[in-house]
Structure 1
Amino acid sequence: MSTQLFGGDCLEIMRDMEADSIHLIYLDPPFFTQKNHKLTTKDRQHTFSFTDTWTSHNEYIHFLRERLQEIKRILHPGGAIFFHCDRNASHHIRLLLDEVMGADKFRAEIIWHYRRWSNAQKNLLPAHQTIYYYTKSDQFTFNVLRQAYSPATNVDQILQRRKRDAAGKAIYDRDENGRIIPNGAKKGVPLSDVWDIPYLNPKAKERTGYPTQKPVLLLERIIQIASRENDLVLDPFCGSGTTLIAAALLNRRAIGIDISPEAIALTQKRLRNPVKSESNLLQIGRDAYKNANRDALALLQGLDIVPVQRNKGIDAFLRDDINGNPIPIRVQRPDETVPETAASLYKAAKSKNAPLMFLVALQEDRCFPFGHELPPEIVVIDGPTISISRIVAQMKESLAV
């Protein structure tokens, strides 16, 4: 994908850009911290700094207003802007965005929530930043992203289709025989406006040493929401270049601008070798560490599943389904026999109209008590422990002959 970098004042550079040409603009300008920011890289070879001091709020708002007016001019009619700020000036910025973009073009106030540690004792610990989302018109690109179900969501809420009754209350949908209608493939819930994305820790692979560096995961999410492949993305305060890295990873064209030569050089270096930190916390959810069986989920990695947090007989459902009916999975526990695992799975899944159930066996013993047999809906597959042990035993046997 094409990526361009410009050094200089974004106001002057944007004035030379074509009107209606940029599909998505993300800006992370100075936050009105009234501080000089400085940070040195881990290898102590480079120091990055910038000044965020102003004589007044009026000076700061005038600085932003001039640039927002150009941003609106160059923004595509179907485009969007995401303005990143924090508690220092977010209340002023919201009013300014309403003025320049139009209050009716406001789409969302996104809260980026993260965990950071501090010994602050005289105030609440800051643990979020704000991203305002505006569009240029009422016809704009918006891609629905989905996230995992909350651990507080029970299995029936996931599996059973719901509708609104005459009073507008959500109820389970039923067919003409009074049976609850299944919900079909499990897609997750639409993304909310509170994003729990970890802050870059000092040891993160993508950490560069730039003072206000944002995670690639955060910018990827913004780009996925409001643009399509090959669209043009602009970051007029590109800093360490995270927006451009995310755009390249998602097959978008991008333009970055920064007044600092050091920031431009850093971005050029990152673009030659894009790095993104992976977050296990984000992948399975913070609460999953407390509620899900992590060993069971580890064995199911690679499958497109929805983990189940509050059910003793089911570990996960495939996102796929059979005629709208769910496909549950359970992994055998070390203290269970296969028949016991099968019984737990069948008891939990039979009321869900599951035509197919998978049991992942971790032990060879498949003996069922007299008079009992494996329900026909359950398919037993060997876990890696059994498969590897069996192959090794077969190899030893063949070599001994």
Structure 2
Amino acid sequence: MTRLLLGAAADVLRREIATASVDMVYSDPPFGNEQIWTGKAGSFDDRWEWSAASSTGWAALKDHSAAGAALLAAVARSAPSRAYLGVMAGIIVELRRVLKLTGTLWLHFDDTMGAELRVLCDVIFGAGNAIGTLVWVRTLGGHGNSKRFGRVHDTIACYGRSRAAKWRLWRIGTLGGDPITGDGFGRFDDFAIAAPLGPTDKERVGYPTQKPVALLEELIRAATLPGNVLLDPTCGSGTALVAATRLQRKSIGIDISQDALTAAQARLTGPATAQPSFDFGEVA
């Protein structure tokens, strides 16, 4: 079964998702790059200014760790970055709450705000619960020029709700090493083996920044078992939900954009991912 919920992620999580009810969170949020992204299936605005959500998120972060909030405020480079980090803080505080003790967060980002997001997750989850990172090679081209190197990869950071999350990944087979001695146990740093999504690939639906299903299937296999619950609080066109359905996991998708949920609903009810149980809901 898949649930789709319309609304701001932190608000929907707070109102609709029970504590310790989710096995895995995958989030590919806006990256804070101050652009408007458009496609034939929808668009989203990645420009940021101070809002009620920013204020609420910073307050939640301060409640969680005043020292951590002060550190993050000190490294925020601009007014838009402070606004963005406030919104992300509100979301990630809630994601920690809804994860089971054995659950994991897989946060997808590029180098625009990647360093700040890692600090934010270290503060909220605890640096000791940082499990590792994956690098997804998103394009095979160089895309460089005389002024800068090309951006050809994104990073996916994994955090556990507790040390039990590391044990669970070990039991599933994601982590190597010896869980008794601790030798080599509890971290991974490797490339995610998934081909980039080409501009003419059939799975493209025209939603900007869409990710390949193959990438999400690999992550979901690494972190969950059939019947587990996956949550994507910034689901876009629903790639993570499609992958979860194919792998017989339950899923919850949240997005602030009706265009995104319409695209996700179309994919989830299409012949490639048709499922017997589907719930399309809205949260004001």
Find 2:253's aligned residue among 253, 256, 275: 256
Residue type of the alignment partner of 1:8: G
Equivalent residues in 2 for 1:160-179, closer than 5 Å: none
Measure, in 2, the Cα distance between the counterparts of 1:245 and 1:88: 27
Q: Select 2:162's aligned residue among 137, 156, 160.
A: 137
Please list the CA deviations of residues 380-399 of structure 1 after superposition, one character each: whole Å capped at 9, or x if unmatched: xxxxxxxxxxxxxxxxxxxx
Between the aligned partners of 1:274 and 1:119, the Cα distance in structure 2 is 39
Give the C-alpha shift of residue 195 in structure 1.
Answer: 2.0
Structure ranking higher in helix proportion: 2
Q: Is structure 2 residue 72 aligned with structure 1 residue 73?
A: no
- When the two chains are superposed, the root-mean-square deviation of aligned CA atoms in Å is 1.9
What are the Cα deviations for residues 1-49 of structure 1, in whole angstroms up to 9, with x where unaligned?
A: x111111111111002211001100111110111111122xxxxxx411
Aligned position for 2:53: none
Matched AA of 1:260: S
Query: Gaps spanning 5+ residues in structure 1: where?
Result: 41-46, 147-190, 277-401
Unaligned runs of 5+ in 2: 49-78, 176-187, 274-284
Q: What is residue 173 of structure 1 aligned with on the other side?
A: none
| CA distance in 2: counterparts of 1:273 and 1:205, whole angstroms | 13
Q: Is the 8 A contact 2:144 2:151 kept in 1?
A: no
| Superposed displacement of residue 116, structure 1 | 4.0
Q: CA deviation at 1:193?
A: 1.6
Tell me how far apart the structure 1 counterparts of residues 271 and 230 of structure 2 sit (CA, whole Å): 17
Structure with greater contact order relative to length (CA < 8 Å, sep ≥ 6): 2
For residues 274 and 223 of structure 1, do their structure 2 counterparts lie closer, same or farther at Cα, with a shift above 3 Å needed? Answer: farther
In structure 2, the residue matched to 1:172 is: none
Q: Give the deviation of 1:144 after TM superposition.
A: 2.1
CA contact (8 A) 2:107 2:158 kept: yes
Equivalent residue number for residue 44 of structure 2: 50
Identical-pair percentage: 34
After TM superposition, the score normalised by the length of structure 1 is: 0.54
Deviations along 1:328-362, whole A, 9 cap, x unmatched? xxxxxxxxxxxxxxxxxxxxxxxxxxxxxxxxxxx
Measure, in 1, the Cα distance between the counterparts of 2:102 and 2:92: 17
SS across alignment from 1:68: helix
| Secondary structure class of the residue paired with 1:38 | strand
CA distance in 2, matches of 1:99, 1:197: 30
Could you tell me how far apart the structure 1 residues matched to 2:88 and 2:199 are? 31
How far residue 242 of structure 1 moved from its aligned partner, in angstroms, is 0.3
Q: What is the CA-CA distance between 1:192 and the residue it aligns to?
A: 5.6
**Amino acid paired to 2:208:** P
Letter in 1 for 2:31: F
Q: How far did 1:119 drift?
A: 6.0
Instruction: State the shift of 1:58 in Å.
Output: 1.2
CA distance in 2, matches of 1:53, 1:229: 38
Q: TM-score, normalised by structure 2?
A: 0.76
**Aligned residues of 1:7 and 1:261 also touching (Cα < 8 A):** yes
AA in 1 matched with 2:163: D
How many Å separate the matches in 2 of 1:115 and 1:197?
11
Residue 229 of structure 2 is aligned with which of 232, 237, 254?
A: 232
Q: How far 1:121 moved relative to its partner?
A: 3.3
Aligned partner of 2:35 in structure 1 is 35
**Partner SS, residue 265 of structure 2:** helix
Aligned pair 1:7/2:1, yes or no? Answer: no
Q: Shift of residue 275 of structure 1?
A: 4.5
String of CA shifts for 1:83-110, please: whole Å, max 9, x gaps.
Answer: 0000101110110000001000000111
**1:274–1:219 Cα change, 3 Å:** farther
The correspondence of residues 329-340 of structure 1 with structure 2, limited to 5 A, is: none
Report how many residues are paired: 226
Greater Cα radius of gyration, structure 1 or 2: 1
1:355-375 C-alpha deviation (Å, 9 max, x unpaired): xxxxxxxxxxxxxxxxxxxxx
